[in-house]
Amino acid sequence: MSFLIMILSLATACGNTNETTKPQNEQTEVTADASNTAVVQQGMLLGEFTKEDLQKEPFATWFNNGYNNYSPNAEALKTIKENISDYEIVAYMGTWCPDSKRETPKLFKILDESGYDLSKLTIYGVDRSKTTEGKTEEKWNVKRVPTFIFIKDGKEVNRFVEYPKESIEADIAKIVSGKEYNDSYAQ
């Protein structure tokens, strides 16, 4: 019984929408890049950031392991390579969230191996309430993390939410090739 409770707790951890307070102390800026608003607060990477921010401690261990130990399926990657350049991506993740720690390194590996222009990716770190200082998550109705939103011609086409239905690369291949896809929480 306790094992079942533990599994249920882990499965819903990144979807928890309970408000938490966040003290404003213990903030450190991550980079000097003007477009990067990231800060590390209470061990969480918050705000807009880049791949390079995840490659620094305290995030480097899980990010680099996840990135280096992941090999996307070749067939799905081929489909992604053929279609991904038409998309901008807006991503939300939590460095505190097990699902984000699992899927975000994979996203970057897929994007790197597909030759995607990372300047077309905007990625935000959220707190445990899944909010950013600028409340950008409200525009995109982000309720769970990670959420990777695929935008074409200024409009959202589809999104990957929290965990894959098949595999992250198969799910992204369906999204960018225009095949039918519903994220894990779509009705």
Domain ranges of the chain: 37-176
Q: Say what the pLDDT of residue 14 is.
A: 63
CATH number of 37-176: 3.40.30.10
Angle (CA) 99 102 106, round 5°: 130
**pLDDT tens-place values along the chain, 187 residues long:** 444 444 444 445 566 444 333 334 344 444 434 455 789 999 899 999 999 999 999 999 999 999 999 999 999 999 999 999 999 999 999 999 999 999 999 999 999 999 999 999 999 999 999 999 899 999 999 999 999 999 999 999 999 999 999 999 999 999 999 999 999 898 7
End-to-end CA distance of the chain: 29
Q: Say what the pLDDT of residue 159 is.
A: 98
Q: How far apart are CA 50 and CA 65, in angstroms?
A: 17
Nearest to 169, CA basis, from 63, 47, 80, 62 = 80
- For residue 128, the tally of other CB atoms under 10 A from its CB is 20
Q: Say what the pLDDT of residue 186 is.
A: 85
Residue 164: in which H helix or E strand, if any?
A: none
Q: Say what the pLDDT of residue 8 is.
A: 44
The pTM of the full predicted model, rounded to 2 decimals, is 0.83
